[in-house]
Amino acid sequence: MNIPFYTQAISSLRPGCAWRLVGDDDSTQNLEWSLENKLPPPSQKELIEEAARLQQVYENNQYQRDRAASYPSIEDQLDTLYHQGYDGWKASISEVKTKYPKPEGVE
């Protein structure tokens, strides 16, 4: 399991709880759970399932990161609006959306 998704899974399953990882793997044996938490630590099975879900969400949203990096700056978009109007601006945005389409089945 990917450590960043593992730590995100802990926070997702037990929001607001205090914890830390001691060690460099993703075992619940390395999860130090605060005694002040009102909820018990998540099980290894819960963490694996939640980390897999979070990783899938991340992968499904790659198109969003690709688009964000490719859109013109706000200044350039405003310049396009001023000089080419709404249709010109829409065309420049559509180019990026066409290059990085939203995958089917992704909400």
CA–CA separation, 11 and 22 (whole Å)? 16
pLDDT at 102 over 90: yes
Element (H, E) at 91: helix 74-99
**What average pLDDT does range 25-42 have in this prediction?**
86
pLDDT at 2 over 90: no
The whole-number pLDDT of residue 25 equals 66
The whole-number pLDDT of residue 15 equals 96
pLDDT digits (tens, 9 = 90+) for 60-101: 999 999 999 999 999 999 999 999 999 999 999 999 999 999
CA–CA separation, 53 and 75 (whole Å)? 37
